Structure 1
């Protein structure tokens, strides 16, 4: 176990260095991400760690996909999408809290792993639906009124983006299944991720548009919502 931790620390440090070198994360963002990664491993094992890695890889790839097009359309993120610590916490803060709960209550480790999976499923769904929807979407609608709206506005959805979001949630659910097997809980993770993404759009269309909350807050709340929904569904099916 000791040698595994040493190897893990080396891999995480290498990932931190690479993310800084490739300008995917700031130094603060990389340090924050590295600490959360190690915390996830301690609390939920390789399952939580790899789900975080999958979210980061898929989210980064989606953000960089057709980046020049996004620049021309005024949709590209600042600093070429380089993430800072607050953005890392917004997307991975809830999984980190679930990992802490797993450490405090080892008997609930399986439940906490589900919460981690649901949160990352929502974060991945949100990122892919937004980034790829802005590129491939043909018609854009306000999520509440269903009136036509502008590409890239908060709370705006498209069919293409929604499909990408479902695929993102499915990717995390599939990775979760690799560690737990094909049980009804996989469907819970998938559903929680998709619903969390919808909740993100609702927050974007209401509170974020009115500038009551920031995008980081929206991202944190959508992952929290997904985790709580998964926990509620598990209680209903007597997990």
Structure 2
């Protein structure tokens, strides 16, 4: 008991008296916001507002919210405006590709749903890996050069996959199942065509070249990025042909 009273007395001596608290009020200091985060919030909020007022159709309302969050992550991370603009490049080119012969695709039942408008599942299906690379750069600054190459490779893969799919469905004269090489109708999961493959390769080259042009990755990274995109899209075709439809959660976005 004596020890307890002694501890209480010591604690009370450390607490300022009420009058002193009134004279010198204590305030909770808000967390400081970095200039990059301030810019990211301002820019993405402004773009989302302008897009909403202009009636943009590339994203669903919920998709726009998730794209806003993605944009804030990318701009405020080590990839900055360079990585952000590469993601915007994918969105613009990918959205344009979905519009190619859209009426024909709709008539065949192989067009993207919602008229090609991207929802949350499309946003993160396209850029979750890129976002993780950007976020991991906060934790491991020493790995940023390697993470930048991984970041570009992920978006180059997605652009390559989108162009291969959309151009193949629109212009592919002969489509083959990637696992058996049997002829299948355009739009079949896991199907590949010469036209789509060439378009996909071109997309990966564009993404890799743009990253070099803006200084996100060095020129020596172009070949690894293009090879990574080709290998990844090939694996995606194999998985689409062999597992998609059999595994319930294995959707296009998951792949």
Q: Which residue of 1 aligns with 2:69?
A: 35
1:29–1:83: 8 Å Cα contact kept in structure 2? yes
Structure 2 counterpart SS, 1:141: strand
Counterpart CA distance in 1 for 2:149 and 2:92 is 20
- Residue among 201, 206, 219 paired with 2:237: 201
Q: Does 1:89 align with 2:124?
A: yes
Give the structure-1-normalised TM-score.
Answer: 0.84
Question: Which runs of structure 2 are paired with 1:54-65 in the superposition (5 Å)?
Answer: 54-65=89-100
Q: Rg: which structure is higher? A: 2
1:12–1:37: 8 Å Cα contact kept in structure 2? yes
Q: 1:177 and 1:16, CA in 2 relative to 1: closer, same or farther beyond 3 A? A: same
Q: Does 1:104 align with 2:136?
A: no
Give the unaligned 5+ runs of structure 1: 219-239
Superposed CA RMSD in Å reads 2.0
Q: Which residue of 1 aligns with 2:8?
A: none
Return the structure number with greater helix share: 1
Give the structure-2-normalised TM-score.
Answer: 0.79
Which shifted more, 140-149 or 63-72?
63-72
2:179–2:242: 8 Å Cα contact kept in structure 1? no
2:82–2:216: 8 Å Cα contact kept in structure 1? no
Question: Which runs of structure 2 are paired with 1:20-169 in the superposition (5 Å)?
Answer: 20=52, 21-43=55-77, 44-169=79-204
1:211 Cα shift? Answer: 3.9
Q: Does 1:217 align with 2:249?
A: no
2:176–2:191: 8 Å Cα contact kept in structure 1? yes
1:141 Cα shift? Answer: 0.2
- By relative contact order (CA 8 Å, sep 6+), the higher-ranking structure is 1
Counterpart CA distance in 2 for 1:216 and 1:182 is 30
Q: C-alpha offsets along residues 51-84 of structure 1, whole Å, 9 cap, x if unaligned? A: 1111111110001122111112211122101111
1:111 Cα shift? Answer: 1.4
1:127 Cα shift? Answer: 0.4
1:47–1:113: 8 Å Cα contact kept in structure 2? no
Structure 1 counterpart SS, 2:181: coil
Q: 1:22 and 1:139, CA in 2 relative to 1: closer, same or farther beyond 3 A? A: same
Give the unaligned 5+ runs of structure 2: 1-32
Structure 2 counterpart SS, 1:215: coil
Q: Which residue of 2 aligns with 1:13?
A: 45
Counterpart CA distance in 1 for 2:216 and 2:70 is 22
